[in-house]
Amino acid sequence: MSLTSPSYVRDLLAQHKIRLKKSLGQHFLVDANILKKIAAAAQLAPEDTVIEIGAGIGTLTQELAQCAGRVIAVEIDGRLIPLLQEHLRPYPNVVVVHQDFLQFDLRSVISERKLSIVGNLPYYVTAPIVEKLVEAHEILKSATLLVQHEVAEKLCAIPGSRDASAITIFVQSFADVQRLFSVSRHVFFPQPEVDSMLVRLQFCERPKFCAPEDIFFKVVRAAFNLRRKTLKQSLTCSPLLGLPMEIALEALERAQLDPKRRGETLSLEELDRLAQALATVLARRNCAAPRSR
């Protein structure tokens, strides 16, 4: 029987006395057409290694196994592992890993090519997963992720616009982000309360900023952590930076930015300009880098 039949999945879980956990974001895809569209959107080749985040009972994994050379299916819930292994038995190119993806060492995967990532993400942990992927950007080719609409809006927002947040800048500094298609809540079992969107992060060869990375991200976090504060206030009051006023003003002047502007309205290019200016001012004054990460 097919894993895309909700009644089959319901009976299978009942037979194994498994009650799905909302707290683990357990909403399985049960639409053959959507599964094929997601696997196609991941643009996998037979030479590719793909890591699936949250494999569940293997529904999407089976599709991925038919497109990629090797699939590493990571699943946190030990109760699902026997089912996952059973459903993937016909696919010798799949390895099942019982682990929290946040603990999974991406750099331990040996591959001649950069890795592809695919996941129908557990919603409760989307932000840390995306941060982990961005931190591993140099070994990743792309990430094709099914996320809540609201999260997709954030990831794809134009920096400086109302929807943008620190994660927008973080992701777009290393990847081109594309909204692919909407996925209705009706194609999941059990049905979640919100619709989803498939997004694709195509990682770039080089970051899109020139400033030293630690200073760039401190500036970004300061700008967004203290929303509705002026740039001058963000740079001096943020626990991440806590700059003396004269340094903050000199950096802002050098970057040709109005100290009264709000940090979250800056484009990626302006944030980079500010971080570069701050790096220069600190170096000229022979100051240590700001406080902490």
Question: Does position 290 bind ligand SAM by CB under 6 A?
Answer: no
Question: In which region does residue 228 sit, left (phi positive, over 0), alpha (psi from -120 to 50) or beta (all else)?
Answer: left
Minimum separation from the CB atom of position 266 to ligand SAM (A): 33
- What residues numbered 40-79 form the site for ligand SAM, per CB under 6 A? 53-56, 59-60, 74-77
Q: Which stretch binds ligand SAM (CB under 6 A): 24-32, 219-227, 258-266, 273-281?
A: 24-32
- The C-alpha atoms of residue 267 and residue 142 are separated, in whole angstroms, by 24
268 within 8 A of 208, measured Cβ to Cβ: yes
CB-closest chain residue to ligand SAM:
54
- Which CB atom, from 29 or from 278, has the smaller least distance to ligand SAM? 29
- The C-alpha atoms of residue 184 and residue 5 are separated, in whole angstroms, by 16
- Which CB atom, from 26 or from 172, has the smaller least distance to ligand SAM? 26
Minimum separation from the CB atom of position 129 to ligand SAM (A): 7
- The C-alpha atoms of residue 292 and residue 139 are separated, in whole angstroms, by 26
- Which CB atom, from 34 or from 241, has the smaller least distance to ligand SAM? 34
Cα–chain center distance at 189: 23
Minimum separation from the CB atom of position 71 to ligand SAM (A): 12
Summary count for the chain: helices (H), strands (E): 11, 9
Minimum separation from the CB atom of position 248 to ligand SAM (A): 39
Full 3-state SS string of 54-107: CCCCCHHHHHHHCCCCEEEEEECCHHHHHHHHHHHCCCCCEEEEECCHHHCCHH
Question: Does position 122 bind ligand SAM by CB under 6 A?
Answer: yes
- Which CB atom, from 72 or from 219, has the smaller least distance to ligand SAM? 72
Question: Does position 31 bind ligand SAM by CB under 6 A?
Answer: no
Three-class SS state of 197: strand
Number of residues that bind ligand SAM (CB under 6 A): 23
Residues at the site binding ligand SAM, with contacts judged by CB under 6 A: 24-29, 53-56, 59-60, 74-77, 80, 100-102, 120, 122, 125
